[in-house]
Amino acid sequence: MGRFDSRVAVVTGGQRGIGLAVAARLCEEGASVVLFDLDEQALAAACARLDASGARAMAVSGSVASAADTARLAEAAIRRYGRIDILVNNAGISPKHGGVRAPTATVDPDEWRQVLEINLTGALLCAQACLPHMRRQRYGRIVNIASQAARMVSAIAGGHYAASKSGLLSLARTLALEGGPDGITVNCVAPGRIMTPMAAEAGAAANAKYLERIPVGRLGTPGDVASAVAYLASEEAGFVSGAIVDVNGGSYMP
């Protein structure tokens, strides 16, 4: 039997990178997974990779920044599986311009708003959509995918990205305080340099500089993050709430 037999997990930004790795790990250990992302075709392909039968993986397309879309996401999960046990807030963007972040002092206000809406407000809207179902069950696990950029200054991530990911830490603590009496834990994973499609956009030179500062001598993989998420999403982590788990190979040590 798997750790997540009979559990239902919602994973945002689930069609590639960390989100897909998390969904795959949860599915491998018995969970039914609901992937949420904008790209409908990529979502369908991701679901087929996770579960060819289609019984334990479903796709819902939409934007985390839309309250209507996130409500529809929760409704679809409940209609298909009858419950929501796990929410992984992974969807996020980190805009670059020619491979370089915009200086915070001159960042376009519309770009700033877009990053905050997707990375931070999106996590709030997804939590608001899923929490009523978790409260009824008196059980839930929420994991926010933050970033090392929320823990220390980053020369590559923009100020809007860092601010949004820092906000996820405080959002998790607040939700952990409010959700605890109903059996709901809320935690954050803060990945360091993980080789995802988003990280690759920064270029080989930038990633080589990151590697120089990682004591374990390698860049991270989406699977490294998925392992941490799987623990926090499990029953074994029932006494862990409001925590930040750094997954960075030692490049940041609080």
pLDDT bin (cut points 50, 70, 90) of residue 171 is: very high
Q: What is the pLDDT of residue 154?
A: 82
Q: What's the pTM value of the predicted model, to 2 decimals?
A: 0.95
Q: What percent of the chain has pLDDT over 70?
A: 98
* pLDDT for 205 beyond 90: no
What's the pLDDT score for residue 196? Answer: 85
The pLDDT-based confidence of 173 (bands split at 50, 70, 90) is very high
Residue 150: other Cβ atoms inside 10 A: 22
Q: Does residue 157 register a pLDDT over 90?
A: no
Residue boundaries of the structural domains of the chain: 8-240
**CA of 53: how far to CAs of 13, 26, 178, in Å?**
22, 16, 38
Angle at 26 between CA 22 and CA 32, to 5 degrees: 120
d(CA 67, CA 71): 6
| CATH tag, 8-240 | 3.40.50.720
At 122, which amino acid appears?
A: G
Buried b vs exposed e over 52-68: b needs ≥16 C-beta within 10 Å? eeeebbbbbbbbbbeee
**Mean predicted confidence (pLDDT) in 184-190:** 99
pLDDT at 102 over 80: no
Is 81 one of the annotated active-site residues of the chain? Answer: no
The pLDDT of residue 101 is above 80: no
Calculate mean pLDDT across residues 121-136.
99
At 64 the pLDDT is 98
Confidence of residue 168 (pLDDT cuts 50, 70, 90): very high
Mean pLDDT, range 152-169, rounded to an integer: 91
DSSP letters for the chain:
--TTTT-EEEEETTTSHHHHHHHHHHHHTT-EEEEEES-HHHHHHHHHHH-TTSSSEEEEE--TT-HHHHHHHHHHHHHHHS---EEEE-------BTTBPPPGGG--HHHHHHHHIIIIIHHHHHHHHHHHHHHHHT-EEEEEE--GGGTS--SSS-HHHHHHHHHHHHHHHHHHHHHGGGTEEEEEEEE-SB-SHHHHTT-HHHHHHHHHT-TTSS-B-HHHHHHHHHHHTSGGGTT--S-EEEESTTS---
What is the pLDDT averaged over residues 110-129?
98
Model confidence at 235: pLDDT above 80: yes
Kindly report, residue by residue over 27-60, the tens digit of the pLDDT: 999 999 999 999 999 999 999 999 877 779 999 9
Q: Report phi then psi at 5, rounded to 5.
A: -55, 130
Query: Looking at residue 99, what is its pLDDT?
Result: 66
Predicted local distance difference test score (pLDDT) of residue 98: 66
Mean pLDDT of the chain: 94
Question: Which one is catalytic: 81, 161, 210, 231?
Answer: 161
Q: What is the CB neighbour count within 10 angstroms for residue 98?
A: 5
